[in-house]
Amino acid sequence: MSILRRFIRLAKADAHGVLDSLEDRTLVIRQALRDAEQALEHRHAHHAELAARIAADERMLLRLAQRETTLDADIALAMQRDAEELARFSTRQWIAARKRRESLERELEDARREHAELTRKLAVQDRELEELRQQAEVEIAQQQALERDPALESLSGATVRDEEIELELLRRRATPTPRATVESRS
pLDDT at residue 10 greater than cutoff 70: no
Q: What is the pLDDT of residue 2?
A: 56
Structural domains in the chain, sorted by start: 2-185 (1.10.287)
Question: Which of 93, 13, 109, 15 is CA-nearest to residue 57?
Answer: 109
Q: What is the pLDDT of residue 43?
A: 95
Q: What is the pLDDT of residue 170?
A: 85
Distance CA 37, CA 1 (A): 54
Distance CA 164, CA 156 (A): 16
Asked whether the whole model's pTM tops 0.75, one would answer no
Give the tens place of pLDDT for each residue, 130-180: 988 888 888 888 777 777 766 655 555 566 777 888 888 888 888 866 554
More confident residue, 25 or 67: 67
Q: What is the pLDDT of residue 127?
A: 92
Q: What is the pLDDT of residue 78?
A: 95
Helix axes 2-80, 84-148, angle to 10 degrees: 160
DSSP-assigned states of every residue in 11-58: HHHHHHHHHHHHHHHHHHHHHHHHHHHHHHHHHHHHHHHHHHHHHHHH
End-to-end Cα, the chain, rounded Å: 55
